[in-house]
Structure 1
Amino acid sequence: MGFFDGLKRQLRSVIEWENPQPNALFERWTDNGDEIKNASTLIVGPGQGCIFVYQGKVQAVYQEPGSVNLKTDNIPFWTTISKFMQAFESEHKVGLYFFKTTVMLDQKWGTNSLIKYLDPRYQFPVGLRAFGNYSYRIETAAAFFTNVVGGQSLFTSEALRAVIVARLNQPLADFLATSHFSYVDIDANREEIADGVREKLAAIFADLGFTITDFRIEGTDFDEDTLRRINRIADMTAEAQAAQAVGLDYAKIQQLEALREAARNEGGGAGMGMGLGAGISFGQNIAQAFGNNAAAPASPSPAAVDPSEKLAQLKKLFEAELISAEEYAAKKKAILDAF
């Protein structure tokens, strides 16, 4: 039985990569062990390539579709006869590694840790996560085989994804640090950021034998500390805009807000005293805001303010939630009574 098995191996004449796995990038041909008889025909299909390793060295790389006649020292039948006492094994070992030459499209990536950089506009640390997709192609098969595959019988796209993702964070962090994009600019400039990162990755991956043909950022996210800082900036910006809308500066709004909170303090006698004093002060500030200062020393009377303007300003304060409904009603009544 062993004789006929060995004889069958020696009769092998056609070698091809049939039905490769969808995720296979490199795969060693093992249909006939590692003995290839002299003048066997290697068939390379469309989108395929093959590396011919003989006696431990890369002897040839075939990347064009077609057939190739292989020549080794394994002479048909003579090897079988001469190796009868060695279980039909030959010392003339070869390795045929098929690989894909097509562009591998729409591969997913995501940062495996936070990317940290200093926001150039607000000067606070940003923690960013990102994800997207990429496409790649094996460019220099011998270099890829030597530096990445390393003789593995099967090397998959998932294995290469781990190589790529492990090298993503630093180029992305470097580009963000030098591009001067604030956190508010990230989403609007994702295409430019992706192009910059792909350029930095190209030099890294060229030495490994493959190239990134397309790199896209689909989305980003910030860590909790960054989101807390962003939300605070958004709140302060909204308050400043509300102050501008009612004709007051932001410092004045903050003062009125503090006085109102103190006036509502009902905790204990000290709190009541503080609330009373703050309430009086709050009333005075409201009055000053609308030019109604009864305690001011006698001075030449300024031009009379139209009550309708006072009412309009008062309504803006109420709509901006800077005064309560009770305060709004009381002041409105005072203005109307004075009129």
Structure 2
Amino acid sequence: MGFFKNQFSNVVEWEEFRDDMIFWKWSNREIKKGSKLIIRSGQDAIFMNNGKIEGIFEDEGEYNIDSDIIPFLSTLKGFKFGFNSGMRVEVLFVNTKEFTVRWGTQNPVLIPTPQLPGGMPIRANGTFNFKVNDYVTLIDKIAGIKDSYLVEDLKLRITAVLDQLLMKWISKEGKDMFNLQANAFEIAKGIREDLDMEVMGHGMTITGFQVMSFNYPQEIQDMITKTASHEMIGNLQKYQQVSMTDAMSSGKLQGGGAASDMAGMMMGMNMANEMMKNMNQNQKPQSQPQKESEPSDSAASQGGKKLNFCPNCGAKNEGANFCPNCGQKLN
């Protein structure tokens, strides 16, 4: 008897476990008397009969199906193992962890914008998180017809609608096409809500969605960088000076000749002029001592200077100390 008992014993466990597998079905086999059920960490075991859930077991460990499992199954509590026959059921193992998946646009998404008639071609990348949350829906929509389901299977479904969602949420409320990163959180929040509705009908939920970066075509990125340079420099004259310096240091003005010499001369003159302006602006005007008020004619006459005319008779004075006409003192 012991020989036959060991021969009929089974081990029901997730035999093809992978980190990127969402569920795996143990099916088309009989569970014999004396079989064991093994549930590992991060797994749930769902017993099904004729496509219906009989019982869900969540705690990890090793269980005897005769005594630990059968008594808890909804419609198979009275099942008795025969000597030569077993119980034919399906056991669905579900990965209960939260998955993190990287995503990226396959092709540029053309976002309508007035600046570009054909639309702004934008690429984006990031991550999203999901997990299984509804076993009944999962079995009804997917597990009922599939033996396993991978993260890549769900990713294909997500990326199929992601371009349209990016276009929707980037265009919404007139986002700044040249500074999308500033609105990345708001855009990602809207996309997460829409994606959650998309996968909810398959027994899963989107627990997070992140946009790591938006990528512009090289021509657009160069224009954004140049515009930012203008803003940082402040005015066109300084930008021209920096551009000329960059050109000379990069070798674009090498080779001598009149053009190169003239460029160097202009750059030197402009730099010298700017240095002189800065020096003049930084120098504070020195306070000058207040000039003493010059004496008036009357004060001059009283301060000992000789008068040109006699104040008494009006006769012209030739430098004498006394008026030659009336004898008036003149100093």
Paired with 1:140 and 1:183, the residues of 2 have a C-alpha distance of 39
Which position in structure 1 is the counterpart of 2:96?
101
Paired with 2:112 and 2:38, the residues of 1 have a C-alpha distance of 55
Using a 3 Å threshold, how does the CA distance of structure 1 residues 56 and 18 change in structure 2: closer, same or farther?
A: closer
Paired with 2:110 and 2:45, the residues of 1 have a C-alpha distance of 42
- Deviation digits for residues 214-272 of structure 1 (CA, Å, limit 9, x no counterpart): 2111222234xxx545656776897899995459xxxxxxxxxxxxxxxxxxxxxxxxx
The answer to whether structure 1 residue 27 and structure 2 residue 24 are counterparts is yes
- Deviation digits for residues 131-181 of structure 1 (CA, Å, limit 9, x no counterpart): 111221111122123323443222222222212222222222111111422
Which position in structure 2 is the counterpart of 1:76?
81
Which position in structure 1 is the counterpart of 2:323?
none
Paired with 1:230 and 1:215, the residues of 2 have a C-alpha distance of 25
Q: Secondary structure at the match of 1:195?
A: helix
Which position in structure 2 is the counterpart of 1:135?
129
Contact 2:16–2:24 (Cα < 8 Å) also in 1? no
Among 195, 204, 212, the residue aligned to 1:210: 204
AA aligned to 2:127 is N
Contact 1:45–1:65 (Cα < 8 Å) also in 2? yes
The answer to whether structure 1 residue 200 and structure 2 residue 194 are counterparts is yes
- Deviation digits for residues 82-106 of structure 1 (CA, Å, limit 9, x no counterpart): xxxxxxxx7x64211101111123x
Which position in structure 2 is the counterpart of 1:115?
109
Unaligned runs of at least 5 residues, structure 1: 81-89, 248-314, 333-339
The answer to whether structure 1 residue 16 and structure 2 residue 16 are counterparts is no
Among 158, 172, 175, the residue aligned to 2:169: 175
Alpha-carbon shift at residue 212 of structure 1 (Å): 1.4
Using a 3 Å threshold, how does the CA distance of structure 1 residues 58 and 113 change in structure 2: closer, same or farther?
A: farther
The structure with the largest alpha-carbon Rg is: 2
Paired with 1:147 and 1:166, the residues of 2 have a C-alpha distance of 18
User: Counterparts in 2 of 1:1-339, with a 5 A limit?
Assistant: 10-12=8-10, 15-17=12-14, 20-29=17-26, 33-37=28-32, 42-65=37-60, 69-70=69-70, 72=76, 75-80=80-85, 93-105=88-100, 107-119=101-113, 122=115, 124=117, 125-223=119-217, 227-228=218-219, 231=222, 245-246=236-237, 326=262
Using a 3 Å threshold, how does the CA distance of structure 1 residues 149 and 79 change in structure 2: closer, same or farther?
A: same
Using a 3 Å threshold, how does the CA distance of structure 1 residues 158 and 229 change in structure 2: closer, same or farther?
A: closer
Q: Secondary structure at the match of 1:22?
A: coil
Q: Secondary structure at the match of 2:172?
A: helix
Which position in structure 2 is the counterpart of 1:309?
none
Which position in structure 2 is the counterpart of 1:284?
none
Aligned residue pairs, count? 241
Higher mean displacement: 71-80 or 211-220: 71-80
Paired with 1:240 and 1:183, the residues of 2 have a C-alpha distance of 18
Using a 3 Å threshold, how does the CA distance of structure 1 residues 131 and 11 change in structure 2: closer, same or farther?
A: same
AA aligned to 2:14 is W
Q: Secondary structure at the match of 2:157?
A: helix
Paired with 2:3 and 2:107, the residues of 1 have a C-alpha distance of 53
Contact 2:42–2:96 (Cα < 8 Å) also in 1? yes
Paired with 1:178 and 1:160, the residues of 2 have a C-alpha distance of 26
Unaligned runs of at least 5 residues, structure 2: 248-258, 270-331
Using a 3 Å threshold, how does the CA distance of structure 1 residues 119 and 182 change in structure 2: closer, same or farther?
A: farther
Alpha-carbon shift at residue 203 of structure 1 (Å): 1.7
Paired with 1:156 and 1:234, the residues of 2 have a C-alpha distance of 42
AA aligned to 1:22 is D
Q: Secondary structure at the match of 2:214?
A: strand
- Deviation digits for residues 22-71 of structure 1 (CA, Å, limit 9, x no counterpart): 222111125xx521247866444332112322123343444455655135
Using a 3 Å threshold, how does the CA distance of structure 1 residues 148 and 76 change in structure 2: closer, same or farther?
A: closer
Using a 3 Å threshold, how does the CA distance of structure 1 residues 9 and 36 change in structure 2: closer, same or farther?
A: farther
